[in-house]
Chains A and B, each alone.
Chain A
Amino acid sequence: MQLALFIIFGALAVAGALNLLLQRHPINSALSLVVVMMSLAVLYWSLGAEFLAAAQVIVYSGAIMVLFVFVIMLLNAGKEEKTTGSRAAYIAGFPGAAAIFCLLTFVFLSEQKALGVANLGGHLNSGLNNIEELSRVLFTKLLLPFEVTSVLILVAILGAVVLARKEDQ
């Protein structure tokens, strides 16, 4: 079950990411990112993070991607045109990304013995369920950071309103 979920949704995530890379129109890239985020939500669930799986669907593929699609439609963004700068980026971009991938994969696979295996369902320390455990930490040990994030969101809302406002009025 775990293996089947991992193969299906891992392949779906990689396919979505590659489609994001290959499409030239921003709206296609945004919609393939939705595919990646939905499959990542399934992978979170299979790793025992039920709350994060729900939050991934609601916050990322719901709110953030709607914002992206909204802005793409608002600005009427067309296909990106090729320019001289992008050729240098092709030369440096693919080897750089491949080097990062090789380094990370080498480290992870050489440490594979120490890492162990993943089982379906949560295996956290106490017998609580995932949401209960998460909220217990958030509202006791991390109450101040949790409340400060509300100020962060407020500042972000104000910043977005100020930045997107028309200046000549």
Chain B
Amino acid sequence: MAAQVPTAYYLVLAAILFSIGVGSFLIKRNIITIFISIELMLNAVNLTFVAFAHQWHQISGQIFVFFVMVVAAAEAAVGLAIIIAIFRTRQTLNVDQIDLMKL
């Protein structure tokens, strides 16, 4: 019999990835890298969905991941278009210099 892995370990791995995503979202100053860390957080949440779907023998968790992937693809397309538009008007990718709406 092969060695088994507790489901909690998968969830802890997802927590590690999510916290790295949160940390890099807060620390990075480049708008593209911030967007990349959002994708990392989405992936971490997907892993918890798949782990729970496996745990409870339900397909619903995998359906959730499917829809998250679809929305992430749409979000990436629109977000990168926004980044291109920002770069065209401001000539910078640094979020500290894009502060028009800041008080």
Contact = CB atoms under 8 A, between A and B. Distances in A.
Using C-beta atoms within 8 Å of the partner chain, give the interface range for chain B.
Answer: 35 or more
A59 B5 contact: no
B33 A29 contact: yes
Contact of B17 (A4, A36, A90): A36
**A contact face: mostly helix, strand, loop, or mixed:** helix
Given A21-B20, A108-B12, A149-B70, A86 B96 contact: yes
A93 B26 contact: yes
A86 B25 CA distance: 11
Interface residues of A, number: 92
A66 B37 CA distance: 16
A126 to B, nearest CB: 9
Contacts of A64: 39, 72-73, 76
Contact of A77 (B8, B27, B93): B93
Nearest to B26: A93
Contacts of A75: 32, 83-84, 87, 93
B26 A68 contact: no
| Listed residue (A20, A120, A134, A145) with the most chain B CB atoms within 10 angstroms of its CB | A20
Contacts of A21: 20, 23-24, 27
B50 A33 contact: no
Nearest to B88: A166
B29 A67 contact: no
Given A14-B13, A108-B12, A159 B62 contact: no
29 contacts: A3-B5, A6-B10, A10-B9, A13-B13, A20-B36, A43-B13, A47-B53, A47-B54, A49-B65, A60-B43, A60-B72, A67-B80, A72-B32, A75-B87, A77-B93, A80-B30, A80-B33, A84-B96, A86-B96, A97-B22, A101-B18, A104-B11, A108-B8, A115-B8, A115-B55, A118-B5, A125-B58, A152-B70, A159-B78
